[in-house]
Structure 1
Amino acid sequence: MTMPPHARIVADVKQRVADGRLRPGERVPSTRQLARDWNVALATAAKALTLLAREGVVVAEPRVGTIVADRPGAAAARPPRPATSEHDLTRRRVVRAAIEIADAHGLSELTMRAVAGRLGVATMSLYRHVGGKDDLVMLMVDAAFAEFPLPGERPEEWPAGWRSRLEASARIQWAAYRAHPWMAGATPLTRPVPSEALLAHSEFVMEVLQETGLDATTRMYVLILLHSYVQGIATHIELEQQARASTGMTDEEWMTGQEEFLRAIMSSNPAFGRLLGELGDFDLDLDRLFEFGLRPLLDGLARLIEPAAR
Protein backbone atom coordinates (compact mmCIF):
# COMPACT_ATOMS: atom_id res chain seq x y z
CA MET A 1 0.00 0.00 0.00
CA THR A 2 1.42 3.41 -1.01
CA MET A 3 2.15 5.77 1.89
CA PRO A 4 0.49 9.20 1.66
CA PRO A 5 2.94 12.05 0.95
CA HIS A 6 2.93 13.48 4.47
CA ALA A 7 3.67 10.04 5.93
CA ARG A 8 6.65 9.63 3.61
CA ILE A 9 8.05 12.96 4.81
CA VAL A 10 7.55 11.92 8.44
CA ALA A 11 9.31 8.60 7.85
CA ASP A 12 12.22 10.31 6.07
CA VAL A 13 12.79 12.84 8.85
CA LYS A 14 12.62 10.11 11.49
CA GLN A 15 15.17 8.07 9.56
CA ARG A 16 17.53 11.03 9.28
CA VAL A 17 17.25 11.60 13.01
CA ALA A 18 17.81 7.90 13.74
CA ASP A 19 20.99 7.63 11.66
CA GLY A 20 22.44 10.92 12.88
CA ARG A 21 22.05 13.05 9.78
CA LEU A 22 19.83 15.31 11.86
CA ARG A 23 21.05 15.79 15.43
CA PRO A 24 19.25 17.18 18.50
CA GLY A 25 19.09 20.95 18.30
CA GLU A 26 19.62 21.08 14.55
CA ARG A 27 17.01 22.84 12.45
CA VAL A 28 14.90 20.59 10.26
CA PRO A 29 13.82 21.74 6.78
CA SER A 30 11.14 24.40 6.87
CA THR A 31 7.63 23.83 5.59
CA ARG A 32 8.49 25.62 2.35
CA GLN A 33 11.72 23.66 1.92
CA LEU A 34 9.96 20.34 2.47
CA ALA A 35 7.28 21.33 -0.02
CA ARG A 36 9.95 22.05 -2.64
CA ASP A 37 12.02 18.95 -1.87
CA TRP A 38 9.05 16.58 -2.02
CA ASN A 39 7.05 18.48 -4.64
CA VAL A 40 3.99 18.66 -2.37
CA ALA A 41 1.63 21.41 -1.22
CA LEU A 42 2.57 23.57 1.75
CA ALA A 43 -0.37 22.10 3.68
CA THR A 44 1.04 18.59 3.19
CA ALA A 45 4.49 19.62 4.45
CA ALA A 46 2.89 21.45 7.38
CA LYS A 47 0.89 18.33 8.29
CA ALA A 48 4.10 16.28 8.35
CA LEU A 49 5.83 18.72 10.72
CA THR A 50 2.76 18.82 12.94
CA LEU A 51 2.76 15.01 13.24
CA LEU A 52 6.50 15.01 14.00
CA ALA A 53 5.91 17.58 16.75
CA ARG A 54 3.07 15.55 18.26
CA GLU A 55 5.33 12.50 18.39
CA GLY A 56 8.05 14.49 20.14
CA VAL A 57 10.56 14.19 17.28
CA VAL A 58 10.78 17.94 16.68
CA VAL A 59 9.93 21.09 18.60
CA ALA A 60 9.25 24.66 17.41
CA GLU A 61 11.60 27.32 18.75
CA PRO A 62 10.45 30.96 18.46
CA ARG A 63 12.45 32.93 15.87
CA VAL A 64 14.61 29.86 15.21
CA GLY A 65 12.32 27.41 13.47
CA THR A 66 11.59 23.73 13.94
CA ILE A 67 14.46 21.77 15.44
CA VAL A 68 15.13 18.17 16.44
CA ALA A 69 14.07 17.57 20.05
CA ASP A 70 16.75 16.92 22.68
CA ARG A 71 15.39 13.41 23.12
CA PRO A 72 13.47 12.68 19.91
CA GLY A 73 10.31 10.75 20.62
CA ALA A 74 10.54 11.31 24.36
CA ALA A 75 7.18 13.03 24.51
CA ALA A 76 5.44 10.19 22.74
CA ALA A 77 7.27 7.50 24.70
CA ARG A 78 6.78 9.10 28.12
CA PRO A 79 4.90 6.69 30.40
CA PRO A 80 1.47 7.82 31.52
CA ARG A 81 1.20 9.61 34.83
CA PRO A 82 0.30 7.27 37.70
CA ALA A 83 -3.40 7.34 38.43
CA THR A 84 -4.56 9.54 41.29
CA SER A 85 -6.66 7.72 43.84
CA GLU A 86 -10.04 9.22 44.65
CA HIS A 87 -8.87 9.69 48.23
CA ASP A 88 -5.83 11.76 47.16
CA LEU A 89 -7.75 13.96 44.71
CA THR A 90 -7.87 17.61 45.81
CA ARG A 91 -9.01 20.85 44.25
CA ARG A 92 -5.40 21.97 44.01
CA ARG A 93 -4.42 18.88 42.00
CA VAL A 94 -7.40 19.31 39.69
CA VAL A 95 -6.50 22.95 39.03
CA ARG A 96 -2.82 22.14 38.49
CA ALA A 97 -3.65 19.39 35.98
CA ALA A 98 -5.98 21.77 34.13
CA ILE A 99 -3.28 24.45 33.95
CA GLU A 100 -0.82 21.93 32.53
CA ILE A 101 -3.29 21.01 29.77
CA ALA A 102 -4.05 24.66 28.93
CA ASP A 103 -0.34 25.57 28.92
CA ALA A 104 0.45 22.74 26.52
CA HIS A 105 -2.57 22.81 24.22
CA GLY A 106 -4.57 25.98 24.85
CA LEU A 107 -7.86 26.61 26.62
CA SER A 108 -9.84 25.22 23.69
CA GLU A 109 -8.50 21.74 24.45
CA LEU A 110 -9.42 21.89 28.13
CA THR A 111 -12.32 19.60 29.05
CA MET A 112 -13.32 17.94 32.28
CA ARG A 113 -12.69 14.59 30.60
CA ALA A 114 -9.16 15.64 29.63
CA VAL A 115 -8.39 16.70 33.21
CA ALA A 116 -9.77 13.43 34.56
CA GLY A 117 -7.67 11.49 32.05
CA ARG A 118 -4.54 13.35 33.06
CA LEU A 119 -5.18 12.51 36.72
CA GLY A 120 -6.35 8.97 36.05
CA VAL A 121 -9.72 9.39 37.75
CA ALA A 122 -13.37 9.22 36.73
CA THR A 123 -14.67 12.46 35.21
CA MET A 124 -17.53 12.71 37.70
CA SER A 125 -15.11 12.66 40.63
CA LEU A 126 -13.87 16.12 39.60
CA TYR A 127 -17.26 17.66 40.38
CA ARG A 128 -16.71 17.07 44.09
CA HIS A 129 -13.93 19.69 43.89
CA VAL A 130 -15.02 22.12 41.13
CA GLY A 131 -18.45 23.14 39.89
CA GLY A 132 -17.66 22.66 36.21
CA LYS A 133 -15.41 24.01 33.49
CA ASP A 134 -16.29 27.68 34.04
CA ASP A 135 -15.57 27.35 37.75
CA LEU A 136 -12.35 25.49 36.96
CA VAL A 137 -11.11 28.22 34.60
CA MET A 138 -11.66 30.87 37.28
CA LEU A 139 -9.65 28.80 39.74
CA MET A 140 -6.93 28.32 37.11
CA VAL A 141 -6.62 32.06 36.51
CA ASP A 142 -6.35 32.73 40.23
CA ALA A 143 -3.72 30.02 40.73
CA ALA A 144 -1.71 31.07 37.68
CA PHE A 145 -1.62 34.77 38.61
CA ALA A 146 -0.70 33.83 42.19
CA GLU A 147 2.55 32.37 40.80
CA PHE A 148 3.62 35.98 40.07
CA PRO A 149 3.27 37.86 43.36
CA LEU A 150 3.36 41.61 43.73
CA PRO A 151 6.59 43.14 45.09
CA GLY A 152 6.62 43.01 48.87
CA GLU A 153 4.38 40.96 51.10
CA ARG A 154 2.76 43.97 52.79
CA PRO A 155 1.37 47.21 51.25
CA GLU A 156 3.97 49.28 53.08
CA GLU A 157 6.67 47.40 51.13
CA TRP A 158 5.14 48.26 47.75
CA PRO A 159 6.90 50.83 45.54
CA ALA A 160 5.90 54.43 46.17
CA GLY A 161 4.41 56.63 43.46
CA TRP A 162 1.69 55.92 40.93
CA ARG A 163 4.06 55.42 38.00
CA SER A 164 6.32 52.88 39.71
CA ARG A 165 3.33 50.94 40.92
CA LEU A 166 1.52 50.87 37.57
CA GLU A 167 4.70 49.80 35.79
CA ALA A 168 5.34 47.02 38.33
CA SER A 169 1.77 45.74 37.94
CA ALA A 170 2.01 45.76 34.13
CA ARG A 171 5.31 43.88 34.10
CA ILE A 172 4.10 41.23 36.54
CA GLN A 173 0.91 40.70 34.53
CA TRP A 174 2.95 40.42 31.33
CA ALA A 175 5.16 37.75 32.92
CA ALA A 176 2.03 35.82 33.97
CA TYR A 177 0.54 35.94 30.47
CA ARG A 178 3.88 34.94 28.99
CA ALA A 179 3.95 31.83 31.17
CA HIS A 180 0.25 31.02 30.67
CA PRO A 181 -0.87 32.47 27.29
CA TRP A 182 -4.39 30.98 27.56
CA MET A 183 -5.21 33.44 30.37
CA ALA A 184 -5.48 36.39 27.97
CA GLY A 185 -8.62 34.85 26.51
CA ALA A 186 -10.06 33.84 29.86
CA THR A 187 -10.34 37.25 31.53
CA PRO A 188 -12.80 39.46 29.55
CA LEU A 189 -12.93 43.09 30.66
CA THR A 190 -16.72 43.16 30.66
CA ARG A 191 -17.00 40.04 32.83
CA PRO A 192 -14.24 40.23 35.46
CA VAL A 193 -13.00 36.96 36.88
CA PRO A 194 -13.46 36.79 40.69
CA SER A 195 -9.79 36.16 41.32
CA GLU A 196 -8.10 37.19 44.56
CA ALA A 197 -4.75 37.37 42.77
CA LEU A 198 -6.16 39.78 40.15
CA LEU A 199 -7.95 41.80 42.81
CA ALA A 200 -4.60 42.17 44.56
CA HIS A 201 -3.35 43.99 41.44
CA SER A 202 -6.39 46.27 41.55
CA GLU A 203 -5.74 47.08 45.20
CA PHE A 204 -2.06 47.61 44.40
CA VAL A 205 -2.95 50.25 41.80
CA MET A 206 -6.03 51.79 43.42
CA GLU A 207 -4.33 52.54 46.72
CA VAL A 208 -1.85 54.91 45.08
CA LEU A 209 -4.39 56.37 42.59
CA GLN A 210 -6.63 57.45 45.47
CA GLU A 211 -3.95 59.97 46.41
CA THR A 212 -3.85 61.59 42.94
CA GLY A 213 -7.08 63.57 43.13
CA LEU A 214 -8.64 61.75 40.17
CA ASP A 215 -12.36 61.06 40.43
CA ALA A 216 -13.57 57.48 40.91
CA THR A 217 -14.58 56.94 37.26
CA THR A 218 -11.20 58.10 35.96
CA ARG A 219 -9.36 55.92 38.45
CA MET A 220 -11.35 52.92 37.25
CA TYR A 221 -10.58 53.76 33.61
CA VAL A 222 -6.86 53.99 34.39
CA LEU A 223 -6.96 50.56 36.01
CA ILE A 224 -8.87 49.05 33.06
CA LEU A 225 -6.62 50.72 30.49
CA LEU A 226 -3.47 49.33 32.12
CA HIS A 227 -4.87 45.80 32.28
CA SER A 228 -6.26 45.90 28.74
CA TYR A 229 -2.94 47.15 27.33
CA VAL A 230 -1.09 44.14 28.71
CA GLN A 231 -3.88 41.69 27.94
CA GLY A 232 -4.37 43.02 24.41
CA ILE A 233 -0.81 42.26 23.36
CA ALA A 234 -0.79 39.00 25.30
CA THR A 235 -3.73 37.60 23.31
CA HIS A 236 -1.40 37.29 20.33
CA ILE A 237 0.90 34.88 22.18
CA GLU A 238 -1.74 32.15 22.14
CA LEU A 239 -3.02 33.14 18.69
CA GLU A 240 0.48 32.59 17.30
CA GLN A 241 0.74 29.23 19.08
CA GLN A 242 -2.60 28.19 17.59
CA ALA A 243 -1.56 29.30 14.12
CA ARG A 244 1.70 27.39 14.40
CA ALA A 245 -0.09 24.24 15.54
CA SER A 246 -2.63 24.39 12.70
CA THR A 247 -0.17 25.23 9.91
CA GLY A 248 3.08 23.70 11.16
CA MET A 249 4.81 26.99 10.24
CA THR A 250 6.58 29.55 12.39
CA ASP A 251 5.58 33.17 11.89
CA GLU A 252 8.73 33.72 9.82
CA GLU A 253 7.98 30.74 7.58
CA TRP A 254 4.39 31.92 7.10
CA MET A 255 5.54 35.42 6.15
CA THR A 256 7.92 33.92 3.59
CA GLY A 257 4.89 32.41 1.86
CA GLN A 258 3.15 35.80 1.62
CA GLU A 259 5.65 37.38 -0.78
CA GLU A 260 3.19 37.67 -3.66
CA PHE A 261 0.55 39.23 -1.39
CA LEU A 262 3.09 41.71 0.01
CA ARG A 263 4.18 42.72 -3.49
CA ALA A 264 0.53 43.39 -4.35
CA ILE A 265 0.17 45.54 -1.22
CA MET A 266 3.28 47.54 -2.04
CA SER A 267 2.09 48.26 -5.57
CA SER A 268 -1.46 49.29 -4.64
CA ASN A 269 -0.70 51.09 -1.35
CA PRO A 270 2.29 53.39 -2.00
CA ALA A 271 2.70 54.79 1.52
CA PHE A 272 2.51 51.37 3.16
CA GLY A 273 4.70 49.96 0.40
CA ARG A 274 7.41 52.51 1.14
CA LEU A 275 7.20 51.62 4.82
CA LEU A 276 7.64 47.91 4.09
CA GLY A 277 10.57 48.70 1.84
CA GLU A 278 12.27 50.73 4.56
CA LEU A 279 11.63 48.15 7.27
CA GLY A 280 13.64 45.38 5.67
CA ASP A 281 13.69 42.26 7.90
CA PHE A 282 11.23 43.53 10.51
CA ASP A 283 10.75 41.19 13.47
CA LEU A 284 7.38 41.59 15.22
CA ASP A 285 8.60 40.59 18.67
CA LEU A 286 5.79 40.82 21.24
CA ASP A 287 8.16 41.49 24.14
CA ARG A 288 9.63 44.45 22.27
CA LEU A 289 6.14 45.67 21.41
CA PHE A 290 5.15 45.51 25.08
CA GLU A 291 8.24 47.51 26.08
CA PHE A 292 7.74 50.00 23.25
CA GLY A 293 4.19 50.84 24.33
CA LEU A 294 4.50 50.79 28.11
CA ARG A 295 6.50 54.01 28.51
CA PRO A 296 4.31 56.11 26.16
CA LEU A 297 1.24 54.76 27.97
CA LEU A 298 2.62 55.87 31.33
CA ASP A 299 3.73 59.21 29.84
CA GLY A 300 0.19 59.80 28.61
CA LEU A 301 -1.29 58.92 31.99
CA ALA A 302 1.17 61.34 33.61
CA ARG A 303 -0.46 64.22 31.70
CA LEU A 304 -3.76 63.18 33.27
CA ILE A 305 -2.63 62.23 36.77
CA GLU A 306 0.05 64.74 37.70
CA PRO A 307 -2.05 67.92 37.22
CA ALA A 308 -4.85 66.34 39.29
CA ALA A 309 -2.38 65.50 42.07
CA ARG A 310 -1.22 69.12 42.49
Structure 2
Amino acid sequence: MNKVIRIGTRDSELALWQAKTVQTALEKLGHNTELLPVKSTGDLNLEQPLYEMGITGIFTKTLDVAMLTGKIDIAVHSMKDVPTALPKGIVEAAVLKRANHKDVLIHKGLDFLTAEGLIATGSLRRKAQWLNKYPTHNSVDLRGNVNTRMKKLEDSDWNGAIFAAAGLERINLTPENSLDLDWMLPAPAQGAMLVVAMENDTETRDILKALNHRDSEICVHIEREFLKILEGGCTAPIGALATIEGDEISFKAALFSLDGKKQVSIERKIAIEDAPNFGKECAIKVLNNGGRVLMEGIKEALN
Protein backbone atom coordinates (compact mmCIF):
# COMPACT_ATOMS: atom_id res chain seq x y z
CA MET A 1 0.00 0.00 0.00
CA ASN A 2 1.58 3.25 -1.09
CA LYS A 3 -0.67 5.74 0.69
CA VAL A 4 -0.06 6.86 4.25
CA ILE A 5 -2.56 5.34 6.72
CA ARG A 6 -3.81 8.22 8.87
CA ILE A 7 -4.48 7.02 12.43
CA GLY A 8 -6.96 9.01 14.51
CA THR A 9 -6.76 8.93 18.30
CA ARG A 10 -7.65 10.89 21.41
CA ASP A 11 -4.71 12.87 22.75
CA SER A 12 -4.46 11.47 26.28
CA GLU A 13 -1.31 9.57 27.23
CA LEU A 14 -3.18 6.26 27.29
CA ALA A 15 -4.96 6.83 23.97
CA LEU A 16 -1.68 7.82 22.32
CA TRP A 17 -0.03 4.67 23.70
CA GLN A 18 -2.78 2.58 22.14
CA ALA A 19 -2.56 4.37 18.78
CA LYS A 20 1.24 4.08 18.72
CA THR A 21 0.92 0.34 19.40
CA VAL A 22 -1.23 0.02 16.26
CA GLN A 23 1.12 2.34 14.36
CA THR A 24 4.16 0.20 15.26
CA ALA A 25 2.36 -3.00 14.23
CA LEU A 26 1.37 -1.52 10.87
CA GLU A 27 4.86 -0.18 10.18
CA LYS A 28 6.35 -3.60 10.98
CA LEU A 29 4.09 -4.91 8.22
CA GLY A 30 5.67 -2.36 5.87
CA HIS A 31 2.99 0.35 5.82
CA ASN A 32 3.49 4.10 6.14
CA THR A 33 1.43 5.80 8.85
CA GLU A 34 0.66 9.19 10.36
CA LEU A 35 -0.76 9.84 13.85
CA LEU A 36 -3.51 12.48 14.12
CA PRO A 37 -4.54 13.18 17.76
CA VAL A 38 -7.82 15.02 18.55
CA LYS A 39 -9.69 16.01 21.71
CA SER A 40 -13.03 14.28 22.30
CA THR A 41 -16.13 15.79 23.90
CA GLY A 42 -15.63 13.45 26.84
CA ASP A 43 -12.12 14.79 27.41
CA LEU A 44 -13.20 18.43 27.19
CA ASN A 45 -16.00 18.24 29.76
CA LEU A 46 -14.51 16.90 32.99
CA GLU A 47 -17.09 18.31 35.39
CA GLN A 48 -20.26 16.56 34.29
CA PRO A 49 -20.74 12.81 34.96
CA LEU A 50 -20.75 10.78 31.75
CA TYR A 51 -24.30 9.51 32.17
CA GLU A 52 -25.58 13.11 32.42
CA MET A 53 -24.04 14.14 29.11
CA GLY A 54 -26.82 12.32 27.31
CA ILE A 55 -25.06 10.86 24.28
CA THR A 56 -23.41 7.55 23.54
CA GLY A 57 -19.96 7.39 22.03
CA ILE A 58 -18.81 10.46 23.91
CA PHE A 59 -15.15 9.43 23.54
CA THR A 60 -15.54 8.25 19.94
CA LYS A 61 -17.84 10.81 18.30
CA THR A 62 -15.10 13.28 17.33
CA LEU A 63 -13.07 10.52 15.66
CA ASP A 64 -16.20 9.21 13.93
CA VAL A 65 -16.74 12.65 12.37
CA ALA A 66 -13.08 12.86 11.33
CA MET A 67 -13.35 9.48 9.62
CA LEU A 68 -16.65 10.18 7.89
CA THR A 69 -15.28 13.48 6.54
CA GLY A 70 -12.14 11.80 5.18
CA LYS A 71 -9.61 13.34 7.60
CA ILE A 72 -8.42 9.98 8.97
CA ASP A 73 -8.40 6.42 7.63
CA ILE A 74 -8.63 4.45 10.87
CA ALA A 75 -9.29 5.18 14.55
CA VAL A 76 -8.02 3.39 17.64
CA HIS A 77 -10.28 3.10 20.68
CA SER A 78 -10.51 1.50 24.08
CA MET A 79 -13.23 -0.90 23.04
CA LYS A 80 -15.26 -0.44 26.24
CA ASP A 81 -15.79 3.22 25.19
CA VAL A 82 -17.25 2.31 21.79
CA PRO A 83 -21.06 2.24 21.37
CA THR A 84 -22.46 -1.17 20.47
CA ALA A 85 -23.89 0.36 17.27
CA LEU A 86 -21.26 2.04 15.09
CA PRO A 87 -22.15 4.98 12.81
CA LYS A 88 -23.29 4.03 9.32
CA GLY A 89 -20.27 3.51 7.09
CA ILE A 90 -17.83 2.69 9.92
CA VAL A 91 -17.00 -0.93 10.81
CA GLU A 92 -14.81 -2.92 13.16
CA ALA A 93 -11.55 -3.77 11.41
CA ALA A 94 -9.46 -5.41 14.17
CA VAL A 95 -9.68 -6.37 17.84
CA LEU A 96 -6.19 -6.54 19.30
CA LYS A 97 -5.23 -9.19 21.85
CA ARG A 98 -6.96 -8.34 25.09
CA ALA A 99 -4.86 -7.06 28.00
CA ASN A 100 -5.76 -7.26 31.72
CA HIS A 101 -9.56 -7.05 32.03
CA LYS A 102 -9.63 -6.33 35.78
CA ASP A 103 -10.44 -3.22 37.77
CA VAL A 104 -7.93 -2.11 40.38
CA LEU A 105 -8.26 -0.04 43.57
CA ILE A 106 -5.65 2.64 44.22
CA HIS A 107 -5.85 3.29 47.97
CA LYS A 108 -4.36 5.17 50.91
CA GLY A 109 -4.45 2.17 53.22
CA LEU A 110 -7.04 -0.61 53.48
CA ASP A 111 -8.37 -0.10 57.02
CA PHE A 112 -11.42 1.68 55.61
CA LEU A 113 -12.67 -1.56 54.04
CA THR A 114 -14.02 -2.64 57.43
CA ALA A 115 -15.39 0.80 58.33
CA GLU A 116 -16.88 3.80 56.56
CA GLY A 117 -15.18 4.87 53.35
CA LEU A 118 -15.29 7.21 50.36
CA ILE A 119 -14.48 5.79 46.92
CA ALA A 120 -14.02 7.81 43.73
CA THR A 121 -15.18 6.58 40.33
CA GLY A 122 -16.95 8.02 37.29
CA SER A 123 -18.42 4.61 36.43
CA LEU A 124 -21.93 3.59 37.46
CA ARG A 125 -20.84 -0.05 37.10
CA ARG A 126 -17.93 0.31 39.50
CA LYS A 127 -19.98 2.37 41.95
CA ALA A 128 -22.86 -0.13 42.03
CA GLN A 129 -20.59 -3.13 42.54
CA TRP A 130 -18.56 -1.35 45.22
CA LEU A 131 -21.70 -0.36 47.15
CA ASN A 132 -23.04 -3.90 46.74
CA LYS A 133 -19.95 -5.23 48.52
CA TYR A 134 -19.42 -2.27 50.89
CA PRO A 135 -22.90 -0.86 51.66
CA THR A 136 -21.61 1.47 54.41
CA HIS A 137 -19.38 3.36 51.96
CA ASN A 138 -20.13 6.41 49.82
CA SER A 139 -18.86 7.36 46.37
CA VAL A 140 -17.80 10.55 44.62
CA ASP A 141 -17.62 11.20 40.87
CA LEU A 142 -14.15 11.17 39.32
CA ARG A 143 -13.47 12.20 35.72
CA GLY A 144 -10.46 12.89 33.52
CA ASN A 145 -7.67 10.90 31.93
CA VAL A 146 -5.62 8.47 34.02
CA ASN A 147 -3.01 11.04 35.05
CA THR A 148 -5.65 13.60 36.01
CA ARG A 149 -7.57 11.10 38.12
CA MET A 150 -4.41 9.94 39.91
CA LYS A 151 -3.60 13.56 40.79
CA LYS A 152 -7.15 14.23 42.00
CA LEU A 153 -6.95 11.17 44.26
CA GLU A 154 -3.60 12.29 45.66
CA ASP A 155 -4.97 15.77 46.48
CA SER A 156 -8.24 14.53 48.04
CA ASP A 157 -9.49 13.05 51.29
CA TRP A 158 -10.87 10.01 49.46
CA ASN A 159 -9.88 6.54 50.66
CA GLY A 160 -9.30 5.31 47.14
CA ALA A 161 -10.29 5.35 43.48
CA ILE A 162 -11.01 2.60 40.96
CA PHE A 163 -9.15 2.32 37.65
CA ALA A 164 -8.90 -0.16 34.79
CA ALA A 165 -5.79 -2.24 35.38
CA ALA A 166 -4.93 -2.31 31.66
CA GLY A 167 -4.82 1.47 31.42
CA LEU A 168 -2.42 1.78 34.34
CA GLU A 169 -0.21 -1.05 33.08
CA ARG A 170 0.02 0.33 29.55
CA ILE A 171 1.57 3.61 30.69
CA ASN A 172 3.49 2.15 33.66
CA LEU A 173 1.43 3.97 36.30
CA THR A 174 0.38 1.08 38.56
CA PRO A 175 1.49 2.14 42.07
CA GLU A 176 2.44 -0.14 44.96
CA ASN A 177 -0.69 0.87 46.84
CA SER A 178 -2.99 -0.97 44.43
CA LEU A 179 -5.32 -3.92 44.88
CA ASP A 180 -6.76 -6.10 42.12
CA LEU A 181 -10.55 -6.26 42.43
CA ASP A 182 -10.92 -9.89 41.38
CA TRP A 183 -14.57 -9.91 42.47
CA MET A 184 -15.64 -6.96 40.31
CA LEU A 185 -17.13 -7.71 36.89
CA PRO A 186 -15.43 -5.54 34.23
CA ALA A 187 -17.10 -3.39 31.64
CA PRO A 188 -17.87 -5.31 28.44
CA ALA A 189 -14.67 -5.36 26.33
CA GLN A 190 -12.54 -3.83 29.10
CA GLY A 191 -8.84 -4.30 28.33
CA ALA A 192 -9.44 -4.66 24.58
CA MET A 193 -8.40 -2.23 21.85
CA LEU A 194 -10.50 -1.75 18.72
CA VAL A 195 -9.46 -0.39 15.33
CA VAL A 196 -12.27 0.88 13.10
CA ALA A 197 -12.21 1.82 9.43
CA MET A 198 -14.57 2.90 6.68
CA GLU A 199 -16.70 0.05 5.38
CA ASN A 200 -15.91 0.91 1.76
CA ASP A 201 -12.14 1.08 2.39
CA THR A 202 -11.51 -2.59 1.64
CA GLU A 203 -7.78 -2.11 1.12
CA THR A 204 -7.20 -0.74 4.62
CA ARG A 205 -9.56 -3.28 6.17
CA ASP A 206 -7.65 -6.14 4.53
CA ILE A 207 -4.40 -4.78 6.00
CA LEU A 208 -5.89 -4.55 9.50
CA LYS A 209 -6.98 -8.20 9.47
CA ALA A 210 -3.37 -9.07 10.36
CA LEU A 211 -3.81 -7.28 13.72
CA ASN A 212 -7.00 -9.12 14.74
CA HIS A 213 -6.86 -11.57 17.68
CA ARG A 214 -9.62 -14.11 17.12
CA ASP A 215 -10.14 -15.32 20.73
CA SER A 216 -10.34 -11.75 22.02
CA GLU A 217 -12.77 -10.87 19.23
CA ILE A 218 -15.08 -13.77 20.15
CA CYS A 219 -15.13 -12.86 23.85
CA VAL A 220 -15.69 -9.12 23.52
CA HIS A 221 -18.42 -9.62 20.94
CA ILE A 222 -20.34 -11.82 23.41
CA GLU A 223 -19.96 -9.18 26.11
CA ARG A 224 -21.00 -6.33 23.83
CA GLU A 225 -23.97 -8.27 22.46
CA PHE A 226 -25.09 -8.82 26.07
CA LEU A 227 -24.75 -5.07 26.69
CA LYS A 228 -26.58 -4.13 23.49
CA ILE A 229 -29.62 -6.27 24.28
CA LEU A 230 -29.83 -4.86 27.80
CA GLU A 231 -29.66 -1.37 26.22
CA GLY A 232 -27.08 -0.29 28.72
CA GLY A 233 -24.71 1.80 26.65
CA CYS A 234 -22.59 3.88 29.04
CA THR A 235 -25.48 4.58 31.40
CA ALA A 236 -26.23 1.39 33.31
CA PRO A 237 -24.29 -0.67 35.86
CA ILE A 238 -23.57 -3.68 33.66
CA GLY A 239 -20.56 -5.97 34.02
CA ALA A 240 -19.72 -8.86 31.72
CA LEU A 241 -16.76 -11.16 31.14
CA ALA A 242 -16.29 -13.97 28.62
CA THR A 243 -13.15 -16.12 28.70
CA ILE A 244 -12.00 -19.04 26.58
CA GLU A 245 -10.73 -22.16 28.35
CA GLY A 246 -9.79 -24.92 25.94
CA ASP A 247 -12.79 -25.43 23.66
CA GLU A 248 -15.24 -23.76 26.05
CA ILE A 249 -16.39 -20.20 26.69
CA SER A 250 -17.14 -19.19 30.29
CA PHE A 251 -19.42 -16.21 30.74
CA LYS A 252 -20.30 -14.21 33.86
CA ALA A 253 -22.41 -11.06 33.79
CA ALA A 254 -24.72 -8.97 35.92
CA LEU A 255 -27.00 -5.94 35.90
CA PHE A 256 -27.02 -3.90 39.13
CA SER A 257 -29.31 -1.23 40.53
CA LEU A 258 -27.68 2.19 40.84
CA ASP A 259 -27.29 1.82 44.62
CA GLY A 260 -25.90 -1.69 44.27
CA LYS A 261 -28.59 -3.24 46.46
CA LYS A 262 -30.16 -5.32 43.69
CA GLN A 263 -28.59 -7.41 40.96
CA VAL A 264 -29.60 -9.92 38.32
CA SER A 265 -26.70 -12.14 37.33
CA ILE A 266 -25.95 -15.06 35.04
CA GLU A 267 -23.11 -17.57 34.73
CA ARG A 268 -22.87 -20.10 31.92
CA LYS A 269 -20.45 -22.24 29.89
CA ILE A 270 -20.81 -23.21 26.24
CA ALA A 271 -18.75 -24.73 23.44
CA ILE A 272 -16.89 -22.18 21.28
CA GLU A 273 -18.89 -23.17 18.20
CA ASP A 274 -22.07 -22.05 20.00
CA ALA A 275 -20.78 -18.47 20.45
CA PRO A 276 -23.05 -16.79 17.85
CA ASN A 277 -26.03 -15.16 19.63
CA PHE A 278 -24.82 -16.40 23.04
CA GLY A 279 -24.58 -12.89 24.47
CA LYS A 280 -28.12 -12.16 23.27
CA GLU A 281 -29.46 -15.35 24.85
CA CYS A 282 -27.85 -14.50 28.19
CA ALA A 283 -29.20 -10.93 28.09
CA ILE A 284 -32.74 -12.16 27.42
CA LYS A 285 -32.48 -14.52 30.41
CA VAL A 286 -31.38 -11.62 32.62
CA LEU A 287 -34.21 -9.41 31.35
CA ASN A 288 -36.77 -12.15 31.97
CA ASN A 289 -35.37 -12.83 35.44
CA GLY A 290 -36.01 -9.35 36.81
CA GLY A 291 -33.61 -7.36 34.68
CA ARG A 292 -36.30 -5.64 32.64
CA VAL A 293 -37.87 -4.08 35.75
CA LEU A 294 -34.44 -3.16 37.10
CA MET A 295 -33.47 -1.54 33.78
CA GLU A 296 -36.67 0.52 33.70
CA GLY A 297 -35.90 1.81 37.19
CA ILE A 298 -32.37 2.77 36.17
CA LYS A 299 -33.56 4.68 33.10
CA GLU A 300 -36.22 6.49 35.14
CA ALA A 301 -33.67 7.51 37.77
CA LEU A 302 -31.20 8.82 35.19
CA ASN A 303 -33.69 10.79 33.09
Q: TM-score band, normalised by the shorter chain?
A: under 0.3
More helix per residue: 1
Normalising by structure 1, we get a TM-score of: 0.24
More strand per residue: 2
Normalising by structure 2, we get a TM-score of: 0.24
Kindly name which structure, 1 or 2, has the bigger radius of gyration based on alpha carbons: 1
Larger relative contact order, structure 1 or 2 (CA cutoff 8 Å, min sep 6): 2
